[in-house]
A = this chain, B = another copy of it.
């Protein structure tokens, strides 16, 4: 594809890339996801990505598969065309958000188990922990409400 990136777009890919690195993505994955969010074409092929970001095939392949696993991107195919057209799923942020909220459950379960095994001698501390786990559960519930009621 001839749809070259402007300097501003390259700059934004880096800013957004850095932020997403901070959220646990590898540099390449972070930039692939950023590219799909910033490029004028929202459906890019393997080679579009490879060329735009000047990555090797292996880095491109690994980054794409990583993002697919994380369900942060998806792809479409076109009849009579073997290529896959990748797009970010940032538009479907609701699911991602729900996943991250639900991810707190595992954390809270461990804290609750810690509580059941704590010495009874540290009442104040235990009460604070209890308060925390209760808040977490409440926070999860309310967050889910916020999302499901959003602009509905």
Contacting residues, chain B, for A131 (C-beta < 8 A): 151
The interface-forming segment of A60-68, A75-83, A111-119 is: A111-119
Secondary structure class of chain A's binding surface, majority of residues: helix
Residue A98 lies at the interface, judged by CB distance under 8 Å to chain B: no
A142 within 8 Å of B (CB atoms): yes
Distance A19 CA – B142 CA, assembled complex (angstroms): 23
> Judging by beta carbons under 8 Å apart, are B110 and A16 in contact?
yes
**Interface: A42 (CB within 8 A):** yes
Of all chain B residues, the one with the shortest Cβ separation from A145 is: B142
Is A70 an interface residue, CB under 8 A from the partner? no
Q: Is A46 an interface residue (CB 8 A)?
A: no
A150 and B138 within 8 A (CB): yes
